[in-house]
A = this chain, B = another copy of it.
Amino acid sequence: MKVDILRKKNLRVTPFRKEVLDIFLKNEHAISIQDIEDGLKDFDRITLYRTIKSFTSKGVIHEIVMPGDIKKLALCDGVCAHDHGLHEHNHIHFQCRKCEEVYCVEIDELPQLKVPGFIIEEQEIQAKGICSKCSVVT
């Protein structure tokens, strides 16, 4: 239940937050702020920014930045844990060259990089290519 997503994170359930959350739930790919705005009838942009901020800081959504200054937001739900303080990603961010959408794609295990002298603790992978939908249609 969508309301629980908010309650679980100690966020008060308001009509506006439900609306915003609905837009995230409607999309299976990451969305931009513009996408959210387009999905709202009338809204106050400041409130939207604040909503995004609370959602992000409480771990309801996470921000994705793809090469080329493309910023997107996606639900944390399932694809990423937000438990140990650090935001752990067991998924990669993938942008399709064709439809241009950005997806959080789950991956069994992240490759463990080794660089002499450097201690690598976390990593984040951004990939580009063709998504499963666009590769089928071709």
Cβ–Cβ < 8 Å partners of A107 in chain B: 113, 115
Q: Are A121 and B97 in contact (CB under 8 A)?
A: yes
Q: Are A124 and B126 in contact (CB under 8 A)?
A: yes
A54–chain B nearest beta-carbon distance, Å: 17
Copies of this chain present in the complex amount to 2
Which residues of A, 116-130, contact B by the 8 Å Cβ criterion?
116-130
Cβ–Cβ < 8 Å partners of A135 in chain B: 117-119
Most buried by B among A107, A118, A128, A136: A118
Q: For the A-B complex with A111-B111, A118-B132, A126-B126 known, give 10 more contacts whose Cβ atoms are closer than 8 Å.
A: A65-B67, A94-B115, A97-B121, A105-B115, A113-B127, A118-B130, A118-B131, A118-B135, A121-B129, A123-B126
Task: Show the binding face of A for B, using Cβ within 8 Å.
Answer: 63, 65, 67, 69, 92, 94, 97, 105, 107, 111, 113, 115-132, 135-136
